[in-house]
Chain A
């Protein structure tokens, strides 16, 4: 299995802050990485796929970058609606794996 490791596990930030979350793969996954946003009691929502392609309707303050084994999700200016848990997922191998999640909370 390809293991996905996210950091940090929890992030405290304020509205307007620039926020970066990192996801590392245990082996190269090329650019086959997706990011999801999840709010309490809700299903995850696709934000970004293929490392940097925004899903439909996702605000442009979200961006993704990376390749191979290291990837980042950046929120350029954190908004009140962005406080949530973020998950990365690789889909390069014959099976899919998620990171453990990063909770973005209010500072």
Chain B
């Protein structure tokens, strides 16, 4: 059974750095073609793809946030970590951790709501 779960702070202040951890099970991030990424959704708004790390450590970022995002993996712990610097209230959203296989986001975590407010 494949599961992914997001963890991290629920509230961050403007200008702070957000660090989210995705802990997954039921698959390996060492398998060719597999990646784990992050997608967010502000309340009542559209989904926004953020970042993806592949089994071979290839990393992809959405261009508009590339300078603010970092994605890393710890294969031994089955974890993927996302950091987003200089948080702003517009970054308030539910952040989803998502497995990708050959580019297709097939399994999603339940999501973690992060609020940016002073």
A62 surroundings in chain B (CB, below 8 A): none
Q: Cβ of B14 < 8 Å from any Cβ of A?
A: no
- Asked if A101 and B109 sit within 8 Å, CB to CB, the answer is no
| Chain-B contact segment, one of A11-19, A20-28, A43-51, A68-76 | A43-51
Specify the main secondary structure of chain A where it touches its partner.
loop
- Asked if B108 and A43 sit within 8 Å, CB to CB, the answer is yes
Q: How far is the CA of A9 from the CA of B14 in the complex (A)?
A: 32
Q: Cβ of A83 < 8 Å from any Cβ of B?
A: no
B52 surroundings in chain A (CB, below 8 A): 96
- Asked if B104 and A95 sit within 8 Å, CB to CB, the answer is no
Range of interface residues on B (Cβ < 8 Å) = 20 to 34
Range of interface residues on A (Cβ < 8 Å) = 20 to 34
> 0/1 per residue, B60-78, Cβ < 8 Å to A?
1111100000000000000
B104 surroundings in chain A (CB, below 8 A): 34, 46, 49-50, 91
Q: Which of A55, A91, A94, A98 contacts B46 (CB 8 A)?
A: A98
Q: Which of B47, B61, B64, B106 contacts A101 (CB 8 A)?
A: B47
Q: Cβ of A1 < 8 Å from any Cβ of B?
A: yes
B contact residues vs A (CB 8 Å cutoff):
39, 46-49, 52, 60-64, 96, 103-111
A contact residues vs B (CB 8 Å cutoff):
1, 32, 34, 36, 43-46, 49-50, 55, 87, 89, 91, 94-101
